[in-house]
């Protein structure tokens, strides 16, 4: 029999306890041993958790219990769980975590500390979708060309409503908050930070690349308007918040932002709260993994799969590499990114404006791919929407600064990147 202890018995922790009990037959048959929860740690002992396991409010009751074989960390936060799982590893206990933030900041230290002790985290990225396993095991023969993921259900739900139902950003944010999909302070989701944690985890497995959230480009969905949605439709794009990791030469671009992607691509068809990750490998071509990115039971499914893997005695290297790659790939800076871009601006409705804009872009070696002009609500104004051919991010940022200085250009230039 294998005994586990759960740090943090919230929604996911309760699901883990209940599934280990309700599906005990099949889990034991697959793992080879019975797996039971011995105890759980909570901050507030008086609250009903809907589980029939022993509860304590002292994490040492689990970390120091010689009967506990595996520690499940579901507390959330960064530094507090970091301190506790380090103690668990020092006591020789394998760790399973669903904590993306912990990994976004400390995965390489944890790998070092864990050594041969299993440290598993399938649930940290894209909830119930077994993407960590797919990337670490299933695609191990491949140099990874790119990863593109819809890894935040809140953003995807909001974008789907904006695109399919014409909802306005502020209205749908309010609805998402009422439905419990978005927090009172939604910045972590809509600002792209949640997705960035998951992207960093996947980038480590794909590229052996160490980076922290503050090292990479992170933008959210806050500035998308119905004008952008309409343009996207007309030009055959969907808009998604994507986490993107992409090999370019000897470097890797890591970035999270709202993105126009062709409506014909599989990942563009992923709607509502669902998540999906597309991985392109040099042998396998494109593969995609789709499912629920959140929710107690779906996340618990991933947590328990890690426990089963540990019980079976599997030995996957924590971050996918047994040795480091000699020809390491370097993280490209934000300026070095290249992309196609979509630009929206409001300008004076008079002759010669377009020439001024095109000439400004030209100074930065940016050429226009397609253009659409629409009437504006403002008198004497007109909306210009266009897409560019591939150019460097630094040139685009400088071009936008220059465009803002033109007297024919009104305030509020919007930009979105395009991935084909």
Residues assigned a catalytic role: 198
**Residue 116 DSSP label:** T
Of 206, 172, 203, the closest CA to residue 189 belongs to 172
Residue 95 CA to residue 92 CA, distance in Å, equals 9
Structure tokens at 94: 């394998």
Q: How far is the CB of 302 from a copy of itself (least distance, A)?
A: 7
The least CB distance from residue 325 to a copy of itself, in Å, is: 5
Number of other residues whose CB lies within 10 A of the CB of residue 390: 13
User: Hey, which bits of 157-248 come out as E strands?
Assistant: 217-218, 237-248
Least separation, in Å, of the C-beta of 248 and a copy of itself? 17
CA triple 261-265-270, angle to 5 deg: 85
The smaller minimum CB distance to a copy of itself, of residues 43 and 322, is found at 322
CA distance 98 to 257: 23
3-state helix, strand, coil in the chain (%, to 5): 40, 25, 35
Kindly state the greatest CA–CA separation across the chain: 80
Interhelix angle 100-114/79-90, rounded to 10 degrees, is 30
What are the backbone angles phi and psi of residue 345, rounded to the nearest 5°? -145, 160
Nearer to a copy of itself, 76 or 295 (CB): 295
Instruction: Closer to a copy of itself by CB, 94 or 128: give it.
Output: 128
Nearer to a copy of itself, 8 or 281 (CB): 281
Beta carbons of 362 and 389 less than 8 angstroms apart: no
Closest contact distance (angstroms) between CB of 313 and a copy of itself is: 5
Cβ 318 to a copy of itself shortest distance, Å: 12
Work out how close the CB of 247 gets to a copy of itself at its nearest, in angstroms, rounded to a whole number.
11
Contact residues toward a copy of itself (CB under 8 A) are 15, 19, 23, 25-33, 122, 128-130, 133-134, 137-143, 208, 266, 269-270, 281-292, 295, 297-298, 300-305, 308-309, 312-317, 320-327
- For residues 123 and 217, which CB has a smaller minimum distance to a copy of itself in the complex? 123
Pick between residue 247 and residue 383 the one whose CB is nearest to a copy of itself: 247
Angstrom distance (rounded) from CA 370 to CA 84: 54
353-363 vs 393-405: helix crossing angle, rounded to 10? 140
């Amino acid at each position: 029999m294998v005994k586990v202890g759960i740090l943090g018995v919230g929604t996911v922790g309760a699901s883990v306890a209940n599934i280990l009990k309700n599906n005990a037959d099949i889990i034991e048959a697959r793992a080879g041993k019975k797996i039971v929860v011995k105890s759980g740690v909570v901050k507030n002992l008086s609250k009903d958790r809907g589980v029939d396991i022993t509860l304590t409010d002292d994490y040492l009751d689990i970390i120091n219990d010689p009967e506990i074989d595996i520690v499940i960390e579901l507390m959330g936060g960064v530094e507090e769980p970091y301190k506790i799982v380090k103690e668990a590893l020092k006591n020789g206990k394998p760790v399973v975590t669903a904590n993306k933030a912990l990994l976004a900041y400390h995965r390489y230290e944890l790998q070092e500390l864990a050594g041969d002790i299993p440290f598993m985290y399938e649930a940290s990225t894209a909830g119930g979708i077994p993407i960590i396993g797919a990337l670490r095991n299933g695609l191990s023969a491949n140099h990874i060309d790119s990863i593109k993921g819809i890894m935040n259900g809140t953003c995807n739900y909001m974008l789907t409503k904006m695109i399919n139902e014409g909802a306005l950003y502020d209205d749908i944010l309010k609805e998402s908050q009422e439905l419990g999909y978005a927090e009172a302070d939604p910045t972590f989701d809509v600002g792209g930070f949640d997705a960035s944690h998951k992207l960093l985890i996947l980038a480590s497995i794909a590229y052996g690349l160490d980076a922290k959230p503050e090292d990479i480009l992170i933008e959210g969905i806050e500035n998308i308007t119905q004008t952008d949605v309409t343009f996207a439709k007309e030009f055959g794009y969907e808009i998604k918040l994507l986490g993107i990791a992409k090999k370019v030469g000897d470097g890797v671009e890591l970035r999270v932002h709202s993105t126009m992607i062709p409506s014909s691509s599989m990942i563009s068809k992923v709607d509502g709260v669902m998540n999906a990750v597309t991985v392109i490998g040099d042998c396998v071509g494109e593969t995609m993994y789709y499912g629920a990115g959140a929710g107690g039971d779906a996340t618990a499914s991933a947590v328990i799969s890690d426990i089963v893997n540990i019980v079976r005695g599997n030995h996957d290297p924590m971050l996918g590499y047994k040795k480091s790659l000699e020809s390491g790939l370097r993280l490209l800076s934000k300026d070095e990114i290249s992309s196609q871009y979509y630009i929206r601006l409001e300008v004076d409705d008079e002759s010669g404006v377009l020439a001024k804009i095109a000439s400004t872009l030209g100074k930065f070696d940016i050429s226009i791919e397609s253009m659409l002009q629409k009437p504006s609500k403002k008198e004497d104004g007109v909306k210009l929407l266009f897409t560019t051919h591939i150019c460097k991010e630094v040139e685009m940022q400088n071009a936008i600064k220059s465009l803002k200085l033109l007297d024919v250009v009104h305030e509020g230039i919007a930009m979105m990147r395009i991935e084909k």
